[in-house]
């Protein structure tokens, strides 16, 4: 069976490999419910360089010099991860498929992007040495590692006000992972969950008052919610077999998520937060949803064209697919720029 991108791309429980490690098992195999991250230490030091792109590189692209700047009017931008260079690097593309360019080129895999509300900075996870979170400033052309102490850190999520980053962290020698928050400038992380299970893939509610995450504390991987300080955790799904982190709608009313289907493949579903109702959205082996800021579309990683590509779906029905990438490599983990 083919697996959806999210079935291995949640940076949660043993997926990211250190530089020079084995490939991520994304292109083939049987899907398994749950998160997917690394807990391994890696040799080598982080690379502080931008790699393939710098500030000038973000200003030119397929449409011609000067037409692909971040602030030039045009279709919305998406960041995503692609394996076209042999490992997973970050790329930037407009929603119509133009101005596609590479942002990172480190030998380690770069995955799980989250935009700052300003649209200037990308947070992402990379196993450059110890698994950690990096910040890429697209205007300044600089890259830095977010300081979170001794934790292995992955799956970052900027808060709506841009002041805080929630992430999944793991302490040395600990089998499970927890949800933490830290200042967007780095510092001493605050532990928001504390149990023996795997808690992973945090995303913020639209108003910043809550966090949604994936946990197997009840025996299976489900979507949970809690307050921004970790208060009142509760399960929102039951028996959903979650694949990857959910995505919260800009209006705060709905979550979109990938789950394991009866055919052992990924499918998309929606969860209405007001009543807990779950509905099938797409059975086209799609995963890793990201909402467009206006709420009219989602970007997903989709198998409908034969290999994982970035595809846009109209919401609320998941109709009118638009193909954004068109390559033989694996493309996934899309994130709409604010």
pTM for the predicted model, two decimal places: 0.84
* CA 36 – CA 6 distance, rounded (Å): 8
What pLDDT, on a 0 to 100 scale, did the predictor assign at position 66? 60
* CA 53 – CA 55 distance, rounded (Å): 7
CATH code (residue 258):
2.120.10.30
Per-residue pLDDT of the chain (338 residues; tens, 9 = 90+): 454 444 333 333 333 333 333 222 222 223 445 554 333 322 222 222 333 333 334 443 344 446 788 888 889 999 999 999 999 999 999 999 999 999 999 999 999 999 999 999 999 999 998 899 999 999 999 999 999 999 999 999 999 999 999 999 999 888 899 999 999 999 999 999 999 999 999 999 999 999 999 999 999 999 999 999 999 999 999 999 999 999 999 999 999 999 999 999 999 999 999 999 999 999 999 999 999 999 999 999 999 999 999 999 999 999 999 999 999 999 999 999 99
Give the gyration radius of the chain's Cα atoms.
18
* CA 203 – CA 92 distance, rounded (Å): 21
Instruction: Specify the number of domains making up the chain.
Output: 1
Supply 264's token pair: 């052992």
* CA 39 – CA 172 distance, rounded (Å): 8
* CA 207 – CA 160 distance, rounded (Å): 7
- What is the span of the domain harbouring residue 75? 5-336
């Amino acid at each position: 069976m083919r697996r959806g991108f999210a079935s291995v791309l949640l940076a949660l429980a043993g997926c990211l490999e250190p530089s020079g490690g084995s490939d991520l098992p994304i292109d083939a195999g049987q899907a398994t419910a749950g998160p997917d991250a690394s807990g391994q230490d890696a040799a080598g030091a982080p690379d502080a360089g931008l790699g393939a792109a710098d500030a000038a590189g973000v200003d030119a692209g397929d449409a011609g010099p000067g037409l692909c700047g971040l602030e030039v009017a045009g279709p919305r931008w998406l960041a995503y991860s692609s394996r076209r260079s042999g490992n997973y690097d970050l790329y930037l593309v407009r929603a119509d498929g133009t101005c596609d360019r590479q942002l990172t080129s480190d030998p380690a895999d770069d995955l799980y992007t989250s935009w700052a509300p300003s649209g200037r900075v990308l947070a992402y996870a990379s196993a450059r040495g110890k698994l950690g979170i990096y910040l890429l400033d697209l205007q300044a052309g600089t890259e830095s590692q977010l300081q979170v102490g001794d934790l292995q850190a992955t799956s970052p999520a900027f808060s709506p006000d841009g002041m805080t980053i929630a992430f999944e962290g793991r302490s040395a020698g600990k089998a499970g992972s927890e949800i933490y928050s830290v200042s967007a400038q780095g510092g001493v992380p605050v532990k928001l969950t504390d149990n023996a299970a795997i808690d992973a893939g945090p995303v913020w509610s639209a108003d910043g008052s809550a966090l949604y995450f994936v946990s197997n504390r009840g025996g299976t991987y489900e979507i949970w919610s809690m307050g921004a300080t970790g208060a009142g955790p509760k399960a929102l799904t039951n028996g959903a077999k979650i694949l990857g982190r959910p995505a919260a709608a800009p209006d705060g009313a709905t979550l979109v998520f990938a789950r394991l289907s009866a055919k052992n493949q990924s499918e998309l579903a929606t969860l209405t937060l007001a009543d807990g109702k779950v509905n099938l959205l797409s059975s086209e082996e799609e995963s890793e949803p990201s909402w467009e800021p206006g709420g009219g579309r989602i970007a997903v990683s989709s198998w409908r064209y034969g290999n994982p590509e970035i595809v846009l779906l109209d919401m609320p029905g998941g109709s009118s697919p638009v193909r954004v990438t068109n390559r033989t490599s694996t493309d996934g983990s899309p994130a709409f720029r604010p």
